Amino acid sequence: FKAVTSAGIKNPIIDVSFKDLTKGKYRVLSFFAKKARGRLANFIVQNRVYSVEELKDFNLDNYYFDPKSSSNGQLVFLRDKQ
């Protein structure tokens, strides 16, 4: 994403975070987050996702959408167990 000039993008940019429960707190674990981002990209293509609302249906690898931690510009997916 660093190679893209975000000012030139007309559509809103949505940040997506994947957090795993570790020692009683949700944290981004880079290994699992990278894998989840790839699974999300595959989900988008296979399901022909065209809206942010449809992204919220992502639920692979025990991740689920957390509306409490999310905002308009950021979607947060949590996982309690691996």
Per-residue pLDDT, averaged over 4-28, amounts to 88
Q: State what percent of residues in the chain have pLDDT above 90.
A: 77
Q: 3-state DSSP call for residue 63?
A: coil
16 — alpha (psi -120 to 50), left (phi > 0) or beta? beta
Mean pLDDT of the chain, nearest integer: 92
The DSSP letter of residue 2 is: T
| Residue 8 clears pLDDT 80, i.e. is over it | no
Per-residue pLDDT, averaged over 46-72, amounts to 94
* Adjacent-strand bridge partners of 17: 76
Q: 3-state DSSP call for residue 50?
A: coil
Nearest in space to 67 (alpha carbons), one of 56, 58, 52: 56
| Residue 2 clears pLDDT 80, i.e. is over it | no
